A and B are shown apart, each in its own frame.
Chain A
Amino acid sequence: MALAITGSAMRTALGGTAETFTALLAGKSGRQPLGYVNPDQVNVRYGYHVDAVEEERPYRASAWLAECVAEAARQAGLDGARERIVVIVGTGLRELRAVERWRADGLPVEPHALHFAGAVRDTLPGVTEVVTVSNACSASSHALALAADLIRLDEADAVVACGADAMTESMLAMIGRVGDESSDAVRPFDADRRGVLLGDGAAAVVLRSVPDSEAEVRLRGVGMSCDAYHETAPDPEGLRAAMADAYQRAGLRPADVGLVLAHGTGTALNDPTEARVLAGLFADVRRPPLVTAIKGAIGHTSGSAGLMSLLVAVEALRHGTVPPVTGLRMPIAEAAPLDLVIGRPARTGAHVAQVNAFGFGGVNAVCLVEVRHDR
């Protein structure tokens, strides 16, 4: 039996999964002027919004999540009445925006809507077990790791692993405060990168155990680690530990991987550290994998980022085409050994991709996913 992804959906600044992938291939960016929050007050001028044209609706992340869960569940044919279904929602920011608007704008707040159980239960009647895991920028990848374990230990028939995040004023303020200058775009691995910007969105995948022959998209393994080192600075040892854990669980070697979806935040600290660790991982591989990243096009979507990268990886392997890193022109020196996709899409015949997600607090999760195709 294999762990298979049998349904999935996402919502980004560029649209659903198919629209996002098409836009990525074209090198488009979902960047917009920052909505909802006064740019001068937070020193951030741009965001990668799902919708910033109307007045701010409360609990937006929950709404996008509900759409994604409904679509993924429909594709997978989930039956809440007959199956043991668990839903794990990974998020960086929960619905803390509602707390901010309660505090600053006097709007009502419902503590039970700060997490995502209500939104999921309304979408999947009959499902009682919904857990919100708030694991910063790698939350949805952690959700996927837990999903895999629940299926493997036969504690669930199907698990929906999700990500959901709407940007908060407090996190925007910290980005605007910590950076020397206000970033104008996310440029992963670029020598001229000026820091991170946030994106909105949600993603959901349904994981099941199926006979090997029926698994088109197979989750080979998810590794987890914690740096136990520093709140905001990544530690190469922790990154390596999560990767080693993923390969060990998957029974794969770096030489088996043809594509890497990097975390690539466009920050001073992440990109050189991640590039060095990847260069080391593939140093002895004769044909190193293509490396791309999506935050230049959809922003840093916080806890949703890992699953969004995973779904883009699946599309890329399915179509044999890897989108370029939006915003990348001249790579940093540390990335010189990497086969970064720059400027235009690259062809690939690969079956297996590695997907990185690293979060505040040194929480790391690395996924290995395999797509069956006949090319």
Chain B
Amino acid sequence: MTADGVLIEAAAVHVPAVAPGLLIASDTTPACGPDEAHGLLGRKGLLFKEPAVRLAMCAVHKALGLPPGRPTGPVPGAAGTAVVVSSNLGNVATVCDIVDQVRAGGLRGVSPMQAPNASSNIIASSIAIRYGFTGPNLMVCSGATGGLDAVRLGALLVRGGRTRRAVVVGAEPGDAVAAALRSAAGLPPGPPEGIAACVVLTAADRPGVRLRSVRRHSAPEPVPADAGPVVRLSGADAPSADLAGVLASGYGATGVLQTALAARWLADPADRPAGVGDATEAAVTCGSADDGFATGRLSRHRGRR
């Protein structure tokens, strides 16, 4: 995909259990865990919401720059706003919990309030309902490339005239079922309290950081040697070992996290952690041998074009 027309209007990360300055240097407030999400989101409407839904909402809340608490109505510009979310493990705990109860002969003990969580698109629809986003609503479950697949589809919705603004989110939970599933499959354990990130895409009608392209490959795409100063982010290529660990284990959230970090770092020197220099371009890669790879390219534009 080429995406010259798409601006990254806002970006936020929400990774509890990781020092916030490791990701965004200017960020001094630790990200709350899913059980404390009410401090940011307000108490109402969180009952029966899974950890990944709560973390995803925290990332959206921050990206939109909203004050703490539940919005009392649709947020500004909500009508027609699209939502694209990537997550692979978001609802596996609910699915397993329901099956546990069924096999124990306890169907009546399953709460009907859990019903929506059995559907994998619960994160995307919950965000739409909370913030009033009535545009196209997509849930991507594409494995390790899912984060950049979601960014790509968000850009497609903007470029195709489906929406003026796409809220793109990556989220994975750190619950016991997700951890056991990762372990059983030989995947690295994720951040212990889960991970989420959000980028907001709009038409590129002003200066800022743009998403230039997202491409899928069967192997990681090399960055040309003569490309000049480029921020590079992949499981193996990161400014610190700790950050590399987060990127390597973010699974469906990784591509959105990388895009959010690159956007913030390109835009503002104060957001760059140690080891990240000035650059006007970024190349971010996520994926795995099983799922394939995706590479996103971003660049900073000061002028009108």
Q: Name A's B-contacting residues (CB within 8 A).
A: 41-43, 91-94, 96, 99-100, 102-104, 108-112, 114-115, 117-118, 121, 128-136, 142, 145-146, 149-150, 152-153, 155, 168-171, 173-174, 176-178, 224-232, 238, 241, 359-363
Establish whether residues B216 and A128, one from each chain, have CB atoms under 8 Å apart when the complex forms: yes
Task: Tell me whether A361 and B137 are in contact in the complex, defined as CB-CB below 8 angstroms, given that A92-B120, A149-B156, A155-B156 are known contacts.
Answer: yes
Task: Tell me whether A228 and B128 are in contact in the complex, defined as CB-CB below 8 angstroms, given that A96-B95, A170-B95 are known contacts.
Answer: yes
Q: How many angstroms between the C-alpha atoms of A222 and B138 in the bound complex? A: 15
- Of chain A, the residue at the smallest CB distance from B1 is A155
Of the four ranges (under 10, 10 to 19, 20 to 34, 35 or more), the interface on chain B belongs to 35 or more
Known: A96-B95, A133-B138, A153-B160. 12 other contacts (CB 8 A): A42-B102, A43-B107, A99-B92, A111-B89, A115-B291, A142-B138, A153-B156, A168-B95, A169-B99, A225-B134, A359-B121, A363-B121
Establish whether residues A361 and B95, one from each chain, have CB atoms under 8 Å apart when the complex forms: no
Establish whether residues B129 and A228, one from each chain, have CB atoms under 8 Å apart when the complex forms: yes
Of the residues B100, B133, B141, B182, contact of A134 by C-beta under 8 Å: B141
Establish whether residues B107 and A110, one from each chain, have CB atoms under 8 Å apart when the complex forms: no
Establish whether residues A150 and B156, one from each chain, have CB atoms under 8 Å apart when the complex forms: yes
From B1, B100, B142, residue with most partner A Cβ within 10 Å = B142
Tell me if B187 is interfacial: C-beta within 8 Å of chain A: yes
**Given the complex, which residues of B lie within 8 Å of A152, measured CB to CB?**
160
Task: Tell me whether A174 and B121 are in contact in the complex, defined as CB-CB below 8 angstroms, given that A115-B88, A363-B137 are known contacts.
Answer: no
Establish whether residues B118 and A170, one from each chain, have CB atoms under 8 Å apart when the complex forms: yes
**Given the complex, which residues of A lie within 8 Å of B116, measured CB to CB?**
231-232, 360-361
**Given the complex, which residues of B lie within 8 Å of A145, measured CB to CB?**
136
Q: Name B's A-contacting residues (CB within 8 A).
A: 1-2, 74, 78, 83, 88-89, 92, 94-96, 98-103, 105, 107-108, 110, 112, 114-116, 118-122, 124-126, 128-129, 131-144, 149, 153, 156-157, 159-160, 162, 177, 181-182, 184-185, 187, 216-218, 288, 290-292
**Given the complex, which residues of A lie within 8 Å of B144, measured CB to CB?**
112
Establish whether residues A361 and B128, one from each chain, have CB atoms under 8 Å apart when the complex forms: yes
**Given the complex, which residues of A lie within 8 Å of B115, measured CB to CB?**
174, 177-178, 231-232
Establish whether residues B120 and A112, one from each chain, have CB atoms under 8 Å apart when the complex forms: no
Output the least CB separation between B189 and chain A (Å): 13
24 contacts across the A-B interface (CB closer than 8 A): A91-B141, A94-B141, A109-B181, A109-B185, A111-B88, A111-B143, A111-B182, A111-B187, A112-B288, A117-B291, A131-B153, A133-B140, A134-B120, A135-B137, A136-B120, A142-B138, A150-B156, A152-B160, A174-B112, A226-B125, A228-B74, A228-B132, A231-B125, A361-B126
From B116, B125, B291, residue with most partner A Cβ within 10 Å = B125
Q: How many angstroms between the C-alpha atoms of A230 and B126 in the bound complex? A: 9
**Given the complex, which residues of A lie within 8 Å of B114, measured CB to CB?**
174
Output the least CB separation between A69 and chain B (Å): 16
